Amino acid sequence: MKRIAERLLPGATSKRLCIYNFFVMFSVERGVFVFYLQEYGYGMSEISWLQVVFSMSLFLFELPSGTVADVYGRAAALVLGGCLMSISLIGQYAAIGNIYAMGAFFILQAIAFSLISGSLSALLYGFLQAEGNVVLFARVYAVIQFAGSLSLGLAMIIAGALVRWGGWPAVYTVACVSPVIGVLFILFILKKEKMARHAKRPTINVGIFFSEVKRIAPFAFPFAMMHAAMTPYFLYASAQFQSMGIDLASASTAVGFAEILCAAGVAILIRKVPAGSQGCWAFLMLIFAVFMFFQFLYGPLMAIAAFVLCNALVLWLALASHQFINACIEANHLRATTLSAVSFLEMLLISIGFTVYGYVADHYSRQLSLQVLAFFPLGGAIMLMGRR
């Protein structure tokens, strides 16, 4: 068993990052937060407004958070991100009666996500690079991502039971405690990182940074288009399934199991099959767009099956993009900042995706909103085909 664990996650750092990602992603509130807000009188436009605030905040704080990680330490950014995550969830529970206060805590949560997003990947890549094991990045990162997806899936599965057992206080208590547990596993890495960085603190060279961004932007944009469609699709999937006659607990459970199954399948497959080429990625995005567009034809079971397929495709493509973009970055001391620039672009497009979804769902229907969002991955596929 120990030998298998070492093959999957070589070294103590990768194991600690895996455990950290598990606890930070144990977001039991994520599968039911729409129902939580609706219970307190929030309409879909107001919920979408909060999501836009969240996404735009991610957009605004991605670059500064990446710079913080590169200058002060990537492990330090992970610790701060986990702590802010917990504080933001406490605030979201306490401030439910005031939409503007809720918006402020959504911003704080976005800052936490920004600190975590590029830092985890950059810290892992730097560790493997120092060990001469960069070739293992895709496999190890897939396992760490699987841990996060497994955690999120389990959290969404138990969310309905938590609501029935202890109500919203139980849901948000578990959600607040989990990131703090994850932080405890990063403290040792933080100590090692401080010792390694004591001699010299990296500086940010703007010219080199823009050179890096210019090189990777044409490849990052199509993947950002994909996330602009999948993120609203994923977050509102439980509500969509409930509107088709599935009860709250079953809807959240379906989304949770879908996340676990997809992540497990991708983590296993990436060890056997190469991540693919641009042509392959374009074809997979096209399949994603087609299945998303024809949601209006599906019954409950077919809708869940289509969601599982789309989620699996996006997880595979996200892994391929992380591997490809990390390999394209030449300035290792700017890795977190450059990856944050990629996330910066993603958050901009995700904000547009949430705005489109909220407006169309409120004025027309959820099915039509998904049809409109399907044009995002279609556009990403066309861009990738144009780059061949």
Contacts of 78 (CB under 8 A, 6+ apart): 20, 115, 116, 119, 120, 123, 183, 186, 189
pLDDT value, residue 93: 93
Over residues 100-116, the mean pLDDT reads: 92
Distance of CA 120 to the CA centre of its chain: 12
In contact, 212 and 118? CB cutoff 8 Å: no
| Residue 316 pLDDT exceeds 70 | yes
Contacts of 195 (CB under 8 A, 6+ apart): none
CATH number of this structure's domain 12-387, picked from the four choices 3.40.190.10, 1.20.1090.10, 3.40.50.2000, 1.20.1250.20: 1.20.1250.20
pLDDT value, residue 173: 93
Two tokens, residue 344 = 């910066």
Over residues 49-75, the mean pLDDT reads: 81
Q: Is 216 helix (H, G, I), strand (E, B) or coil?
A: helix
208 compared with 140, residue with greater pLDDT: 140
Two tokens, residue 105 = 């805590």
Which of 125-129, 242-246, 360-364, 384-388 is predicted least confidently?
384-388
Place of tokens 């070739």: 135
Average pLDDT, the chain: 83
pLDDT value, residue 108: 95
Predicted confidence band at 200 (pLDDT cuts at 50, 70, 90)?
low
Q: What percent of the chain has pLDDT over 90?
A: 20
Calpha distance 256→263 (Å, rounded): 11
Beta strands in the chain (DSSP E): none
Could you report the per-residue pLDDT of 11-61, keeping only the tens digit for each?
A: 778 888 989 999 998 888 877 888 888 888 888 778 878 888 887 787 788
Q: Which helix (H) or strand (E) holds 247?
A: none
| Residue 236 pLDDT exceeds 60 | yes
Could you report the per-residue pLDDT of 127-184, keeping only the tens digit for each?
A: 887 777 777 777 788 788 888 878 887 887 788 788 888 889 999 999 999 999 999 9
Q: Where are the domains of the chain?
A: 12-387
Closest listed residue to residue 153, CA positions, set 266, 50, 65, 294: 266
pLDDT value, residue 159: 82
Which of 98-102, 282-286, 324-328 is predicted least confidently?
324-328
Contacts of 93 (CB under 8 A, 6+ apart): 168, 169, 172, 176
Closest listed residue to residue 256, CA positions, set 242, 231, 274, 237: 237
Distance of CA 105 to the CA centre of its chain: 18
pLDDT value, residue 289: 94
